[in-house]
A and B are shown apart, each in its own frame.
Chain A
Amino acid sequence: MLDSSADTSGTGIGKFLTRAAHWLLHTQEGVLFFIVAAIWVFLTIQSPVFFTGRNIGVLLSQVSMTAITAVGMTILLISGEIDASVGSMQAFVGVVVMSVLNSTSNLALGIVVGLAIGVAVGLINSLISLRLGINSLIATLAMLSIVRGAAFGFTEASIQNTHKIPTFTEIGNGFFLGVPWPIIFFFAVFLIFYFVLSRTTFGRFVHAVGANPEAATLAGIPVRLVKMAGFVLTSVLAAFSAIILLSRLNSGQNGIGAGFELEAIGAVLLGGTSLSGGEGSMVGTFLAVLLLGTLKNGIVLLDINSSWQVAVTGLIIIIAVLLDARRRRRLGQD
């Protein structure tokens, strides 16, 4: 991952420091890390509440849904495809799972049904994009409408929690050894797919397929299968996010998740993953999600008009992309 020209010194610590400096100054991850660190320091000074276990727990729980979906989206984008339908999934999975839980009182069944919807929508997305040869942005934008329509077709009002299963409430609100469950899910998903992407054959296939599909085909990589796995993975993780969200809201709402797709895709792009495929970083996605969550949290803590959340999110995206563009140009001139 790191440029070999960076390590010039002999000693272990020196080598580590040069590598760290290179990472900070020359990668999108480094730029993001720098921005996040600066904001964290600023907020710690400005608000006594910010750097407390409780607040950090709230911050990370709030971003866990976007983060889990963004992990799948990172892999999909690296493979050269995109899924815009994840926003409507939040609503559709939510209403269906809640109604299954209400009628069966079986938590495992509800979760299985929710994840199965993820698999089904992922398969439909890959079928439309890969078999019919329709650009995946358009195919999944259409699916965004269709899945939203399905959520509204399923129920005209929101579905309340009448099953009162305690474990269900725990998913989004409970703690394990003092750590909120959403954070555990978020970190587990992140770590698993970080290793899948960087250490497995599948991960290398994803990069190869996105960088050059023709070359990948010639090299005997099952291009369609890899992309299909990406679609299904993204959809299933979106469904997982939806179940956590459902537990936190405690009701299935057919209008929830509008704009969720922009947040998830925005975070992945902000993290330095390329739209054209073949290039991307799971760590970058993690830092980008953290950055967006920190901004929202900070605005609330500093008691700033909440309308600023939207504006600041946009400005930060622009600034991060600007910094990345400048870095690329500087490296190009070197």
Chain B
Amino acid sequence: MAVLGKGNSGNSVLARGLARWLLTREAGLLILLLAVVVLFWILEPSTRQQRVYWDLLREISPNLIAAIGVTMLMLAGEFDLSIGSMLAVTSVTTVVVFNGTDSMWLGVIAGLATGPIVGSIHGYLVTRQKMNSLVTTLGSLFALRGMVYVYTNKTPIVDENGFYDFQDAYYNNLGPAPLPFVLAIILVALSLIVLTQTEFGRNIYAIGGNETAARVSGIKVNLIKFILFVICASSAAISGMILTMQTGTGYFDSGSSGFELIVIAGVVLGGIALSGGKGSLVGTVLGILILGMTAKGLRLMGVNTNMQLMVTGSIMILAVFMHSFHDRISIFRKR
């Protein structure tokens, strides 16, 4: 790097910036994503169509949106394992209210309202009752799913009104981009601004880095954590809404096949430290895209759905190893 940065001309500043960026986590992830895309490009001819990528972005939007909330919460050192069950809560609530009121908007509002409600409960239990968030939300993973099972008796709830506008929102495009993806990108951009440009965002990093220090320096730790639990459950509710649009039914098993694990895997792959305080939302987006692209590519190749699991698992190990390797290099460079 020192070799690159002798002169002061624009070119070398640019080269220096580029060189520095290439050593970041995000660059490593972007290279990994490109490698995955190129690999499938070579192995599977059907991935050479543009359509495949737009489809991928549409399908991955719920994961992206849920990952925003999970990322913010994990940056502050807390967890929410219940997001998979939240999808079903939102989905069933939405369609039940559709059928009960014959109003699409009331259904959407009711469905989205489940997020802040569940999030507030988590926030109260963790910040007021001082309960461990991982175990608490493991409990609500079961409790929420169970309540949905009891309420629906494990039968899907059909939208009797057939609100086509509702379902169209999933399948329509804005220009070439799928609407759900546009929503996801807007939410990511807003959250990125909040995380990097506001005091609230800096406080989240401070809490995750050292909670006691943050509290002593006057940061309202409990209030911020409470808000983050609400944000996390709400982003899961938005994901649940999008998945409900996709099928038009209230599905009791929505998100039950390890949605929370896939999202957390993407977030961790993106470089968010499990202990909090470290990582960026850009990394999360890349992490989710890498896992999504891998799954889609393998699916297109006709690989057994469950063999996909093996590959996804291996990629996770590879990526996390990359992070720890990267950390070691950074330490080395500083010396």
Instruction: Show the binding face of A for B, using Cβ within 8 Å.
Output: 128, 132-135, 137-139, 141-146, 148-153, 156, 254, 262, 265-266, 269-270, 275, 305, 307-318, 321-322, 325-326, 328-329
Contact = CB atoms under 8 A, between A and B. Distances in A.
A153 B304 contact: yes
> Could you say which interface size class chain B belongs to?
35 or more
A318 B150 contact: no
A311 B304 contact: no
A152 B306 contact: yes
A146 B153 CA distance: 33
Interface string B141-167: 111111101100110000000000000
A152 B310 CA distance: 10
A268 to B, nearest CB: 10
A139 B154 CA distance: 33
A146 B314 contact: yes
Contacts, number: 145
A143 B309 CA distance: 9
Nearest to B261: A141
A311 B324 contact: no
A152 B143 CA distance: 30
Contacts of A313: 142-143, 146
Most buried by B among A149, A312, A313, A316: A149
Nearest to B82: A314
B186 to A, nearest CB: 30
Given A149-B307, A311-B143, A318-B139, A139 B320 contact: yes
A137 B144 contact: no
Interface of B: 125, 129-132, 134-136, 138-147, 149-150, 153-154, 261, 264-265, 268, 274, 304, 306-314, 316-317, 320-321, 324
B142 A142 contact: no
20 contacts: A128-B317, A138-B265, A138-B317, A138-B320, A142-B265, A143-B313, A148-B310, A152-B304, A275-B132, A305-B150, A310-B145, A312-B146, A314-B140, A314-B143, A315-B139, A317-B139, A318-B131, A322-B129, A325-B130, A328-B130
A132 B142 contact: no
Contacts of B265: 138, 141-142
Contact of B138 (A134, A144, A309, A317): A317
A311 B142 contact: yes
B131 A325 contact: yes
A136 to B, nearest CB: 10
